[in-house]
């Protein structure tokens, strides 16, 4: 499994942002096809850490196996941030906040200071070195010089593995710009939402079912009985309402239904057909083996 050391650079005497203060510079590096590539080492070096410019700006440098499409998310107040480092197509990412005449503040992924090594694997026969620049409209940045070093281990793989890997990376690239995850939790609901329940104190609320509804629920459907009985449809509706999920701290079950309050505990003793769905017309059902013999269930 040979290890290839790659050195490339982006050097431009002048880059001018568009009317939105955004500029993109990209370089494509060719690799061998039908191979699995593993990133052993990757580093970005700012040959000119303070390019001449009249305003502050932010740069994002990415190493990816597919072209980078910017997102609608902001960075430092500027629009069009690059995909997050969590996107699996991002093999390396560096962010630099450059102020006029001041050394830039640089952050990297993976972080070398915790000895994290980028051992990500990809299959596309490409590497893209992409530079995003965020600044003021029509801002001019002079003498950009950035160097890339990569140590890549490559090995031959089957065409199926190679093809599936390329397809997967292509799909990752399609959704990188719309990545959105995580859920918002109200601070007032944080403690006790998962644990510890004792923070709340007392008992969780519980619904109360009326005596008539309770009696009707547990009376089996039988037209020969003189007392009131439920239909199968109503029994299934009440069982569904008893299983209803509710927000934290609210009583389990469903409140204020046409049958009154339905607590969760009535679902503990359900009749056959109510719990698992409609009963077959013939019960027990007749089943046959492949040779035609009747099976005993």
Span 68-103, pLDDT tens digits? 999 988 998 898 999 999 899 999 999 998 876 677
- In what helix (H) or strand (E) does residue 296 lie, and over which residues does it extend? none
Nearest to 92 by CA among 116, 73, 69: 116
pLDDT at residue number 187:
81
Judge contact between 207 and 219, C-beta under 8 A. no
**Global confidence as pTM:** 0.65
Does position 58 have pLDDT exceeding 90, yes or no? yes
pLDDT band at 146; cut points 50, 70, 90: very high
Question: Contact, 176 vs 87, CB < 8 A?
Answer: yes
Question: Chain-centre distance of CA 179, in angstroms?
Answer: 7
Residue count (the chain): 297
The two three-digit tokens of residue 109, written as one number: 């992924």
Residue 29 has pLDDT above 80, yes or no: yes
With a pLDDT cut of 90, the percent of the chain lying above it is 41
- pLDDT score recorded for residue 293: 87
Largest CA distance in the chain: 96
Q: pLDDT digits over 191-206, tens only?
A: 766 666 666 666 778 8
Does residue 261 contact residue 207 with C-beta atoms inside 8 Å? yes
Euclidean distance between CA atoms 230 and 221, whole angstroms = 6
Of the listed ranges 118-127, 137-146, 204-213, the least confidently predicted one is 204-213
| Mean pLDDT, range 25-52, rounded to an integer | 92
User: Per residue in 102-137, pLDDT tens?
Assistant: 777 889 998 776 555 657 999 999 999 999 999 999
Q: How far is CA 17 from the centre of its chain?
A: 32
Give yes or no for a contact between 68 and 82, defined as CB atoms under 8 angstroms apart.
yes
pLDDT of residue 136: 93
- Looking up tokens 């309402």 gives 241
Residue 176 tokens read as 């990188």
Q: Look at 282 and 159; give whichever has higher pLDDT.
A: 159
pLDDT at 229: 64
Shortest CA distance to 49 belongs to which of 15, 113, 96, 11? 96
């Amino acid at each position: 499994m040979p290890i290839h050391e790659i050195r490339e650079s982006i050097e431009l005497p002048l880059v001018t942002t568009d009317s939105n203060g955004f500029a993109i510079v990209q370089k494509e590096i060719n690799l061998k096809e039908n191979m699995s590539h593993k990133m052993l080492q990757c580093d970005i070096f700012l040959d000119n850490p303070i390019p001449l410019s009249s305003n502050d700006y932010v740069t994002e440098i990415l190493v990816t196996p597919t072209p980078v499409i910017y997102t609608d998310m902001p960075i430092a107040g500027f629009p069009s941030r690059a995909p997050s480092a969590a996107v699996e197509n991002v093999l390396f990412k560096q962010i630099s906040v450059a102020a006029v005449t001041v050394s830039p503040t640089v952050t990297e992924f993976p972080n070398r200071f915790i000895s994290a090594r980028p051992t990500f694997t990809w299959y596309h026969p490409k590497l893209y070195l992409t530079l995003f620049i965020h600044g003021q409209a029509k801002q001019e940045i002079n003498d950009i010089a950035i160097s890339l070093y990569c140590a890549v281990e490559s090995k031959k793989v089957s065409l199926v593995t190679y093809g599936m890997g390329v397809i997967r990376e292509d799909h990752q690239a399609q959704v990188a710009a719309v990545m959105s995850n995580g859920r918002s939790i109200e601070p007032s609901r944080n403690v006790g939402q998962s644990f510890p329940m004792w923070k709340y104190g007392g008992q969780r609320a519980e619904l109360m079912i009326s005596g008539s509804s309770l009696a009707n629920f547990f009376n089996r459907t039988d037209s020969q009985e003189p007392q009131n009985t439920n239909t199968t449809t109503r029994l299934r509706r009440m069982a569904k309402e008893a299983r209803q999920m509710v927000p934290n701290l609210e009583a389990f079950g469903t409140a204020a239904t046409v049958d009154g309050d339905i607590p969760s505990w009535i679902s503990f003793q359900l009749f056959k057909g109510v719990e698992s769905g409609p009963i077959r017309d013939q019960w027990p059902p007749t089943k046959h083996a492949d040779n035609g013999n009747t099976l005993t269930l």
